[in-house]
Structure 1
Amino acid sequence: MKKILYWSIAVIITLGSVVYQRATGPTNPKKYSFSLNGKEYDIKLVRSLETEITLEEAKGDYTLPGKMTPMEVAVKEASDSLSMTLFFKRYRSNDTISVIKATRRGDLFTVMLPSQPPAGKLEYFVEFSDNGNHTSMGYGENLTIRFKNPVPVWALLPHIFLMFIAMLLSTYIGVISFDKKQNTRIPVLLLIISLIVGGLIFGPIVQKYAFGEFWTGWPLGRDMTDNKTLAALVVWLAAIWGNRSRNKRWWYAVAATFMLFIYSIPHSTSGSEYDYSKKGVVTGEIINTYVNPESSDPHC
C-alpha cells in the first residue's frame, strides 16, 4: 500500500514539473490577449519553426536558395476587417526591420518568413489593425523564433520517454529515501541507465539532427539543456557513492531535489544558437536585443 502511495506522489510531482517546464519553455508558443473595436481575442505566437535550410546550406550563403517558412497565427472569430502585419529582423544583428503583411484565409493569418539556418533566430513582433485601430504583441519583449531541422521519431521519442522516466525515478527515489524498508537499488540502477541512454546518447543525436551539433554543453559550450543532464548524472553518481552506508540515504533525497530543481529550469533556456557572424552554432545567452522603440515604432 505504501508503494502505491509513494509512486502516486512521485507521478504527481513529476507531471507537475513537466507541465511547468512545458509552460515556461522559451520555444513554446507565447499566449497573448488583446482587444480591438470592442472584440476580445486570444492568440498564440510561435517561438519555434522547422527550417527549409539544410545543414550543408547553412555553411555557405544560405539566402541564395530563397527558401521560405510559413508562420501561422490563428485568431478565432476574427472580424472581417482585422489584418495582421509582422515586423522582424535576425536576432543579435544590426539588420533593419523587415515588414510583411500577412495573408488571411478565414481566421488564419499566414506570413512567409525567410528560412534561417538550424538554430538561427528571428526577433519579431506583430501588429493587428482593425478600421484604423492598432495594437502590437511582442513589441519590446525579446520575442524570437528559433529554427530547427526536423528530428526523426526514432530519435526523439526514446529521448523524451527516457528523460521522463529518469525524472520519475529520481522523484520516486527521493520520496522513499527515508523509508528504510523500501529497496532503492533497482530504481537507482534504472535511473542511471535512463539518464545515460536518454540524455547522453539520444540527447546528442536529437541535438545533431535539429541544430547540427552533438554537444554544446560543458566543456564545449554553455548549453543549459546539455549541462542539466550532465549535472544530474554527476550528482546522482555522487549520491550513490555517498550512500555506501545504509545510514546515508539522505544523499538520495538531496540528489532528487537537485534534479527536480534543475529540470524545472525551462527546456532550451540558453540553448543552441546560430551565430550569423561566424556562420556556426554557438550557445546562446539570455539578453535583451530588441530594437530601440524610437527607431522601430511601426507607426512612425
Structure 2
Amino acid sequence: MRKVLLWLLAIIITLGSAVYQRMTGPTYPFRGKTVFLGQEIKYKLPRSAEATGNCQVVVNLPANLSGQVQGFLQFKRHKSDTPWNILAMKQEDNRLVGFLPKQPPAGKLEYLVHLVSGSQEISLTGEKPVIIRFKGRVAPGILIAHVIVMFLAMLLAVRSGLAALNKKEDPTRLTKWTAVLFFIGGFILGAIVQKMAFGVFWSGFPLGTDLTDTKTLVAMLAWIAALASGRRTQPKRGWVLAASIITLLIYLIPHSLFGSELKW
C-alpha cells in the first residue's frame, strides 16, 4: 500500500512539474487581455512556429467592434539593427488576421500588435514586444517518443528520491532505470529532435547556451554520480536523494529558456 501511495505522489509531482514547464516556457503562447474602446479584448499570441511557412497571428474582437478596428503587425529580427516592418492585418468576421514572415530554423522575430480606430491606438502588449522563434518540422513519432521517455525519466527520478527516503525500499533498480531513460530521452531522442528543429545535435554546454541541453547534461551527471556511489552495493541514499532533488529543481526551470538562437 505504501508503494502505491509513493507512486501516486511521484505521478502528481511529475505532472505538476510538466504543466509548470509547459506554461512558463518562452515558447508557450503569450496570453493576456486589454481594454480598447471600452471593450475587453483577450489575446493569445504565438511564440513558436514552424519554419515551413508564415506564422498566423489572430486577434478575436468583440462582435460590436467588428469593422471598427484595424490591426497592424510591427516586427523585426530579434537582437538585430534591422528596421521595423509594418503589415496590415485583414478583417475576417470578428477577427483580425495577419502573418509574420517565416524565418530559418532558430531565427527569432520580435513583434507588436497594434489596434487602431480613428485617432485611438493601442499595442496589445504595451511597449514590450513578443518574441517568436521558428523551428524546423520534427517528425511526430520522434517528438512523441522524446516527450514520453523524458516524462518517464522524470517520474522515475521523483520515485527514486522517495525510495531513498524509505529505508525499507532499495532504490537501486529505480536509479538505474532513471539514468537509462535520461540517456535515451535526452542524449539520443533529444539530440534528434534538436537536429530536426534547429539543425544541430547539441547546443548546450560547452558548445552553446541552450539551457534545455545543459539541464539534461546536469541531470545525467547527477544520476551517474548516484550510481557510482554504490558500485558494488546499492547506491547511497543521500546521493540518490540529491540527484532526485537536482532533477526536480532543473525541471522547475522553464523549458526552452535560452534555447537555440540564430545569430543575425
- For the aligned pair, the TM-score class normalised by the smaller chain equals over 0.9
Identical columns (%): 40
Secondary structure of 2:75 counterpart: strand
Alpha-carbon distance between aligned partners in 1 of 2:132 and 2:255, rounded to the nearest angstrom: 15
Match of 2:55 in 1: 70
Is residue 2:209 matched to residue 1:222?
A: yes
Offset at 1:273?
0.7
TM-score w.r.t. structure 1 length?
0.82
* Paired residues of 1:29 and 1:47 also in contact (CA < 8 A): yes
Root-mean-square deviation over aligned CA pairs = 1.7
Q: 1:157 aligns with which of 144, 167, 182?
A: 144
Alpha-carbon distance between aligned partners in 1 of 2:243 and 2:69, rounded to the nearest angstrom: 53
> Which aligned pairs between 1:258-273 and structure 2 lie closer than 5 A?
258-273=246-261
Offset at 1:246?
5.4
Alpha-carbon distance between aligned partners in 2 of 1:247 and 1:266, rounded to the nearest angstrom: 30
* Paired residues of 1:165 and 1:194 also in contact (CA < 8 A): yes
Q: CA 1:275–1:3 in 2, change beyond 3 Å: closer, same or farther?
A: same
Alpha-carbon distance between aligned partners in 1 of 2:235 and 2:190, rounded to the nearest angstrom: 35
> Which aligned pairs between 1:250-261 and structure 2 lie closer than 5 A?
250-261=238-249
Gaps of 5+ in 1: 53-67, 277-300
> Which aligned pairs between 1:41-52 and structure 2 lie closer than 5 A?
41-52=41-52
Q: CA 1:220–1:247 in 2, change beyond 3 Å: closer, same or farther?
A: closer
Q: 1:188-225: CA deviations, max 9, x gaps?
A: 22211111111100101001111111111122112111
Q: What amino acid is aligned across from residue 20 of structure 1 in structure 2?
A: Y
Q: What amino acid is aligned across from residue 166 of structure 2 in structure 1?
A: D
> Which aligned pairs between 1:142-221 and structure 2 lie closer than 5 A?
142-221=129-208
Q: 1:231-260: CA deviations, max 9, x gaps?
A: 100011111222456593021111111001
* Paired residues of 2:171 and 2:234 also in contact (CA < 8 A): no
Secondary structure of 1:274 counterpart: coil
Is residue 2:97 matched to residue 1:110?
A: yes
> How many residues are paired up?
261
Secondary structure of 1:273 counterpart: coil
Offset at 1:25?
0.3
Alpha-carbon distance between aligned partners in 2 of 1:150 and 1:247, rounded to the nearest angstrom: 41
Q: What amino acid is aligned across from residue 49 of structure 1 in structure 2?
A: A
Q: What amino acid is aligned across from residue 89 of structure 2 in structure 1?
A: A
> Which is worse superposed, 221-230 or 177-186?
177-186
Q: What amino acid is aligned across from residue 40 of structure 1 in structure 2?
A: E
TM-score w.r.t. structure 2 length?
0.93
Offset at 1:141?
2.4
Is residue 2:10 matched to residue 1:22?
A: no
Q: CA 1:188–1:148 in 2, change beyond 3 Å: closer, same or farther?
A: same
Alpha-carbon distance between aligned partners in 2 of 1:217 and 1:33, rounded to the nearest angstrom: 35
Match of 1:126 in 2: 113
Q: 1:93-137: CA deviations, max 9, x gaps?
A: 111110111112123322122211100000111112245432212
Match of 1:10 in 2: 10
Offset at 1:41?
1.6
Is residue 2:39 matched to residue 1:39?
A: yes
Offset at 1:76?
5.2
